[in-house]
Amino acid sequence: MQKRKEKPEGTNKSVNKSDTQNSADIFFSMSLRQKQIVELVRGEGFVAIEKMARRFAVTPQTIRRDIKSLADAGLLLRHHGGAGMPSSVENYAYQARKVLCLQEKKRIARLLARHIPDKASMFINIGTTNEEVAKALVHKNGLRVITNNLNVAAILSGNKSFEVIVAGGVVRSRDHGITGHATIDFIKQFKVDFGIIGISGIDTDGMLLDFDYSEVRVAQAIIDNSRRVFLAADYTKFGRNAMVRLVHISRVDTLFTDRMPPDGMNDVLSIENVKLLIADDLSP
């Protein structure tokens, strides 16, 4: 039987070379086809190997190699005959999340930073998108920031005009986030201008979802004690499953993202009067 011809992958061949690559390496070397596979599976829940092979005009063996690499990175789950989405009870590894949609996160961060005035007070919580927001805010003047994210604190403390306050609590070794009852009690002592939060998933009904109950409790305290709430979320968060409910998106004042949300989500945002700002027109 004649083999199908496939387009050369260039430098992306390295994705399939080693089972020992870490998640960040795999993200950096993902091909366009692999990114499209993730989006396809995300949209349909499960996609058969034969269907993907026909769609991308490659052999089933190539699709199997792609799925293996994406499963190693935690982006997909391998099933007999196809691929599905990862579990709703476990998030991607921190190093993988740092590089996933990195350019989109940078654009979102720059857009959000434009809406923060000098000498404002704010909370910034845990998340790789919020770490990019911190980088975008570092050139502001006179900010007062309370955070439960040691990475954010390290970034912002480089500006001598800032006052950076770190919440007490238990430090997580995997991402330097701080959670626990002491964290919540500390946050409740403040009332700030802006609460900047990230999220793992946004359900079709507008419910914000995350994986860690302790992290969600802290985020709820941030929302309750902020005059305005800014949500920074890239397009992969729409429709993504996670098991812990945070709040409904109606508690958010402005959603900063990089693509137009699905139609149903647009309806929810309109009904709940949530402002939508899209960073797709900003340079990388």
Lowest-confidence pick of 99-108, 136-145, 199-208: 99-108
pLDDT at 174: 81
If asked whether residues 254 and 191 sit together in one domain, one would say yes
The per-residue pLDDT for range 236-251, each reduced to its tens digit, is 788 877 889 999 999 9
Q: Do 187 and 222 meet the contact criterion of CB atoms below 8 Å apart?
A: yes
Tell me if 109 is assigned to some domain. yes
Label residue 16 by pLDDT band (50, 70, 90).
very low
Tell me if 211 is assigned to some domain. yes
If asked whether residues 131 and 271 sit together in one domain, one would say yes
Q: Among 34, 53, 86, give the residue marking a domain's end.
A: 86
Tell me if 179 is assigned to some domain. yes
The per-residue pLDDT for range 27-40, each reduced to its tens digit, is 555 788 988 898 88
82 vs 195, higher pLDDT: 195
Q: Among 53, 86, 119, give the residue marking a domain's end.
A: 86
* Cα(278)–Cα(213) distance, integer angstroms: 29
Structural domains counted in the chain: 2
Side-chain half-sphere of 136: how many Cα atoms within 13 Å?
24
Is the predicted pLDDT of residue 132 greater than 90, yes or no?
yes
pLDDT at 11: 36
If asked whether residues 72 and 138 sit together in one domain, one would say no
If asked whether residues 42 and 99 sit together in one domain, one would say no
Tell me if 46 is assigned to some domain. yes
Q: Do 63 and 83 meet the contact criterion of CB atoms below 8 Å apart?
A: no
Tell me if 283 is assigned to some domain. no
pLDDT at 98: 55
Return the CATH number at 177: 3.40.50.1360
Q: Among 86, 107, 131, give the residue marking a domain's end.
A: 86
Label residue 281 by pLDDT band (50, 70, 90).
low
Label residue 196 by pLDDT band (50, 70, 90).
very high
Q: What is the mean pLDDT of residues 120-124?
A: 98
Domain of residue 37 covers 10-86
If asked whether residues 28 and 151 sit together in one domain, one would say no
Lowest-confidence pick of 112-116, 209-213, 222-226: 209-213
Identify the CA nearest to 64 among candidates 42, 47, 39: 47
Indicate the burial class of 115 (C-beta count within 10 angstroms; 0-12, 13-18, 19 or more): middle
If asked whether residues 32 and 156 sit together in one domain, one would say no
Question: Mean pLDDT score of the chain, rounded to an integer?
Answer: 83
The per-residue pLDDT for range 149-172, each reduced to its tens digit, is 999 999 999 999 999 999 999 998
Tell me if 5 is assigned to some domain. no
If asked whether residues 140 and 72 sit together in one domain, one would say no
Cβ neighbour number for residue 35 with a 10 Å cutoff? 14
Is the predicted pLDDT of residue 93 greater than 70, yes or no?
no
Label residue 19 by pLDDT band (50, 70, 90).
very low
Tokens 């954010």 belong to 152
